[in-house]
Amino acid sequence: MGEIRLYDTSGMLQRRITVNDETKEVEIRDPTGGLIMDIEKHADRHLYGKDDEISGLSYLQLAENTIYFRIPVLIPDSTQTGLAADSTGVKWISKFKLKWDTRHLKGVRLRATWSCTATDAVIKIAIKDDTTGADIVTLSGNSGTNSESSVTAPAVTSDGLATVYAEVTTASATSGATFNIDYVIVELEIGVS
C-alpha cells in the first residue's frame, strides 16, 4: 500500500493518503491508520461530469426534517347537523379511516369548527388509534371555530387504522339540544429524516 503523509506545522502526523493494494482505491486515513474516507466510494455518490450533484442519497443521510411538509386530510363526512347534545356518548363516527405509516410521521394536527344550540354541553372531537383505542389528539368545548390541537411524535400503531369521531362528554340540561359540525381536518406532519 503506497502512502503520502500529511503533517501539521508542529510536525504532528494528521492524515495519511493511501492506495489500497487490493481495491486500488485512494483512501484518507487518520494518524493511526483508521479509514476516514474512501475517495472512489465517496465519488460514486456524485453524478459523473456534474458540478456536485449527489446521486443515491438515502434519507438517513439527510439532516433531520430536511424535507418537511403537512398533508391536510379533509374528513369527507364530517359535516354533520342535529347531533344530540342532551345525552352523553359518541354521536358521530366517520365512515372514512386513515392508515398510519409512522416511518416519517412527526406530528398529527386536528382542526374543526362546531357549534351547539345550548351553552352547557361539552363536545369532544377526536382522532383515535383503532388498534389501541387511545385518542391521539382531541378538541373539546361547547363550540369551536377553526379550533386546532396537535401532538408531536404521536404514539400510533404503524400500519394501523385511525378513526375520527365526536362525543358529548357533558350533556346539556336542555332537552332537545343539538350540535353541528361544520368540518374536521386531520393534518399529517411529515419530516424525512
Query: pLDDT tens, 144-155?
Result: 999 999 999 888
The pLDDT value given to residue 67 = 77
Verdict on whether the full-model pTM lies above 0.85: no
Measured in degrees and rounded to the nearest 5, phi and psi for residue 59 equal: -65, -20
Superfamily of domain 67-192: Galactose-binding domain-like (2.60.120.260)
The pLDDT value given to residue 20 = 83
Residue 8 has pLDDT above 70, yes or no: yes
- Of 66 and 48, the one with more pLDDT: 66
Query: pLDDT tens, 13-56?
Result: 888 888 888 888 888 888 888 888 888 777 666 656 555 666 56
User: Domain spans of the chain?
Assistant: 2-57, 67-192
How would residue 58 be classed by pLDDT, with cut points 50, 70 and 90? low
Question: Which residues, listed in sequence order, are joined to residue 178 by a DSSP beta bridge?
Answer: 84
Query: pLDDT tens, 154-191?
Result: 889 888 999 999 999 999 999 999 999 999 999 999 88
Q: Which residue has the cell 484518507?
A: 28
CB-side neighbour CA atoms (13 Å) of 184 = 29
C-alpha torsion angle, residues 19, 53, 48, 33 (rounded to 10): 0
Question: Which residues, listed in sequence order, are joined to residue 94 by a DSSP beta bridge?
Answer: none
